[in-house]
Chains A and B, each alone.
Chain A
Amino acid sequence: MQTESLQDKKMAVQESIDINGSEAVLKALIAENVDIIFGYPGGAIMPIYDALYDYNDKLEHILVRHEQGGIHAGQGYARSSGKVGVVFATSGPGATNLVTGLADAMIDSTPLVCITGQVFAHLLGTDAFQETDVINITTPVTKWNYQITDANEIPSILAKAFYIAKSGRPGPVLIDIAKNAQIQKFSYTGYTYCNHIRSYRPKPNIRNEYIVAAAEMINKSERPFVIFGQGVILGEAELEFKAFIEKGGLPAAWTILGLSALETAHPLNVGMLGMHGNYGPNVLTNECDVLIAVGMRFDDRVTGRLDRYAKQAKVIHLDIDPSEIDKNIKADIPVWGDCKETLPMITALLDLKQRDSWTAKFQECNEKEIEAVIHDEMHPTSEHMTMGEVIDQLNEITKGNAIIVTDVGQHQMVACRYAKFNQSKSNITSGGLGTMGFALPAAIGAKYGAPDRTVVAIIGDGGIQMTIQELGTIMQNNVNVKILILNNRFLGMVRQWQQLFNDKRYSFVNIESPDYVAVAKGYRIEGNSISRREDLKKSLTMMLEHDGAYLLEVFVGKENNVFPMVPQGCGVSEIRLK
């Protein structure tokens, strides 16, 4: 692939060839080292699909069952591989079906390039068949978007699209290509990579005075606390991050998108932040003297009530996106820049320290949480299984080596709380947008992004029914993903809130499920359903050892709740253990 793009480059000085816009799109993808596209054809993108017919050997295309499935697959691919996910969809409904995934990728900073077909340029604005104003619909949910009506623009715009999607704080880019541009012949002079746009500054300049100030503040601190997010993973700064916390003896807690950047077993990994996070990280946020935020954005699910959040602490905020600094929490020291560069600069100035009495406080809190919550979750006295014990059993078998893809709701919180990870890019979930239906298609993409790894999609009985059609994609392409449905016969998280805050008025949270094993069978996917504890280990092992996709439904207690919990409108130290 690399040679082809070099040839293309060479050609730039020598000659040009006449190709059509569609072929130029595919040449661009090859030059950008794209190996897989998730998509769905339709009228307005047919010329591109026609060109794809001849590029079958160079570009793999996965036919999904719904464009939303396509874009979530693209997201899963991007998250497990660290590369840009590529998605094709047609105009009109094809494009509007991408919107949820774009919003999800936007808020979770996932690099995507989505290419949508559009009606002929002369039909724009005429309410033509399958015409939608895709650019305006997607403007708030894309990092950048652009409509191409002339094939000559295709190489340079796609180069720009890939550069914007993956640089700085990554995000989704949508390129809408009118059908006339797809069929238009033009003289192609090769593909030139984009590495600079004058109006776009992906990385702010690093200011040395803040690096020095941050290091001094940490050195003087008695109770420093690090909270980290996906910035560490997106910046591929896992090693730099570890060196930083190890030298400073800094306890570190993660947001759910930061999960897996630091291995679970690391002695300084003190757990999860936020609404259903661990007790220690939440309570001690309000006891630390310096709070060091790395590549995270102080989401309200992390901070709880802002006026009761870390008021006693000085805040150091490292982020590549300047608009995140001071957005929710005022930073005393703003460290703008890519944390892969800023972390080592700070580490170099840190005193080598161990802070045993401070880190012991996290341990004390953890013991309290084990006693009040975790013990019962892992060793329930009830005959019904808990989600926690299922995850725990899964850990034992996978040894923390699997990629865990979760959907949204109780099972997601439980999986994030209890799943163990040994390596980065292993936790894939819809964090910011909270998109139910994310996990199944994202797991498909995650498997293509990391084909050698085991991918387990953990999904509730609500979320699975939102994108269950993607079982068809799994069937057709033999995608080896393991689907673990935690079925509590409720929309569990909403039910939990209704129980705790709406006097158990269970309004429309009773959800019936089909016979999932039969559904899977219909898609020629092996499956099993269990409700007894004694079948758990055996069934999980069977699922993981099965050669190919497998669906395991586990019935869990109907009215189990996720604790601890910081109720909405409360401060993090008001976290409830029951």
Chain B
Amino acid sequence: MKQEFTITIYTENQVGLLNRIAIIFSRRKINIESLNTSPSEVEGIHRFTIVIDELEEVVRKVVRQIEKQVDVLKAYFNTNDEIIWQELALYKVPTDTIAEKAKVERLLRAYGARAVVIRKDYTIFETTGQREETDTLLNVLGPFGLIEFVRSARVAIIKDSKGFYEKLKEFEQSKPTTRIDSINRSRIEEETIDL
């Protein structure tokens, strides 16, 4: 069954790498639902967060193809219950309607949103949350003459991850000691068996 997977990729900061990763999906006709690139906890190392809706088997193969790229350090994939994730949304609404018809204060509190800008002509709200939360506020603001709406890509933290510092130290040794996932194919490809 297809489900949402979040792929987390640690990479070198290299021109052209975004394309190299993107074509791994497009070649297999997989639609990228969301894509975010940002710095990571390690200086100089980039972190991609990509969301796709796919079968686990397909995701596993795609992640291996990603990890095979020379400038990719490591790639993980997780289901939604294995991560903490958030998206950020901005909503632009006419200030007069908002002021007239809805109590701004109440809206802000109910949806954990805050006003980023309040001008005479428009107000911009911002909220972070999961899809349902940002969608709910979107539905609420719809009737008030929503002028613009934008939602960011997902950013996610893997619950079980210990961060990338240790892994990087391992990679920087001239004899790489990384391991591939174990025979039972555990999802987070961190190994427990030591030889």
Chain A contacts for B178, CB-based, 8 A = 201, 204-205
How far in angstroms is the closest Cβ of chain A from B165?
13
- Whether A143 and B70, one on each chain, are in contact in the complex, defined by CB atoms closer than 8 angstroms, is yes
How far in angstroms is the closest Cβ of chain A from B87?
28
In the complex, identify which listed stretch (A81-89, A319-327, A369-377, A529-537) lies at the interface while the others stay far away. Answer: A319-327
**In the complex with contacts A139-B19, A140-B27, A145-B16, A207-B65 CB distance below 8 A:** no
How far in angstroms is the closest Cβ of chain B from A109?
12
Complex Cα gap A325–B63 (Å): 13
For residue A336, CB closer than 8 A to chain B, the reply is: yes
By beta carbon, the residue of chain B nearest A145 is B16
Interface hits, A195-209 → B, CB 8 Å: 195-201, 203-205, 207-209
Interface of A is mostly: mixed
Chain B contacts for A147, CB-based, 8 A = 15-16
**In the complex with contacts A196-B174, A197-B70, A323-B67, A207-B20 CB distance below 8 A:** no
For residue A135, CB closer than 8 A to chain B, the reply is: yes
Pick the contact of A199 from B64, B65, B72 — CB < 8 Å?
B72
- Whether B16 and A201, one on each chain, are in contact in the complex, defined by CB atoms closer than 8 angstroms, is no
Complex Cα gap A321–B70 (Å): 13
- Whether A198 and B27, one on each chain, are in contact in the complex, defined by CB atoms closer than 8 angstroms, is no
By beta carbon, the residue of chain A nearest B15 is A147
Interface hits, B100-157 → A, CB 8 Å: none
Chain B contacts for A55, CB-based, 8 A = none
Interface of B is mostly: mixed
Complex Cα gap A209–B194 (Å): 10
- Whether A199 and B12, one on each chain, are in contact in the complex, defined by CB atoms closer than 8 angstroms, is yes
Pick the contact of A207 from B12, B16, B23, B179 — CB < 8 Å?
B179
How far in angstroms is the closest Cβ of chain B from A345?
12
Chain A contacts for B27, CB-based, 8 A = 140
Chain A contacts for B20, CB-based, 8 A = 139
For residue B78, CB closer than 8 A to chain A, the reply is: no
By beta carbon, the residue of chain B nearest A322 is B180
Complex Cα gap A323–B12 (Å): 20
User: Apart from A135-B16, A196-B174, A207-B195, what are 17 other A-B pairs with CB-CB below 8 Å?
Assistant: A136-B16, A136-B19, A139-B23, A140-B27, A146-B16, A196-B176, A199-B11, A199-B171, A201-B178, A204-B178, A204-B180, A205-B179, A209-B195, A322-B67, A323-B65, A326-B60, A327-B61
Q: List 13 A-B contacts (CB under 8 A).
A: A140-B27, A144-B71, A147-B15, A199-B12, A199-B73, A203-B176, A204-B178, A205-B177, A205-B179, A210-B183, A326-B61, A333-B183, A334-B180
Q: Which residues of A contact B (CB under 8 A)?
A: 135-136, 139-140, 143-147, 164, 195-201, 203-205, 207-210, 321-323, 325-327, 333-334, 336
